[in-house]
């Protein structure tokens, strides 16, 4: 599975590891930021909280991943990756 992704993305194993680290750290930062934003609002954990949480992390994820990709040297990859996702979402 990892070899297929590495070949699809046309990256070295080092870049592949950095890309996975960027996904992991960016996702964690996004989730943490989403929880903190909702705690600032003071919303209780109910259905509306979780719906709003999903919306917030969906909006924050691209920004979080791009910010994390800068120090890991993977900004160009993620700029292209997020651009492809944006095209697919807007096309439908």
**For the chain, what is the largest distance between any 2 Cα atoms, rounded to a whole number of angstroms?**
46
* pLDDT tens readout for residues 54-78: 999 999 999 999 999 999 999 999 9
pLDDT above 90 covers a percentage of the chain that reads 75
Domain boundaries, the chain: 21-84
* pLDDT tens readout for residues 6-40: 999 999 999 999 999 999 999 999 999 999 999 99
Q: Which 3-state string (H, E, C) describes the chain? A: CHHHHHHHHCCCHHHHHHHHHHHHHHHHHHHHHHHHHHHHHCCCCCHHHHHHHHHHHHHHHHHHHHHHHHHHCCHHHHHHHHHHHHHHHHHC
């Amino acid at each position: 599975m990892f070899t297929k992704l590495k070949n699809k993305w046309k990256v070295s194993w080092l870049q592949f590891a950095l890309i996975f680290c960027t996904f992991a750290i960016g996702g964690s930062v996004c989730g943490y930021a989403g929880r903190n934003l909702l705690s600032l609002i003071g919303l209780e954990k109910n259905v509306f909280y979780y719906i709003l949480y999903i919306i917030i992390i969906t909006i924050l994820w691209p920004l979080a991943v791009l910010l994390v990709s800068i120090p890991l040297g993977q900004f160009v990859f993620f700029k292209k990756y997020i651009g492809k996702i944006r095209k697919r979402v807007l096309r439908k």
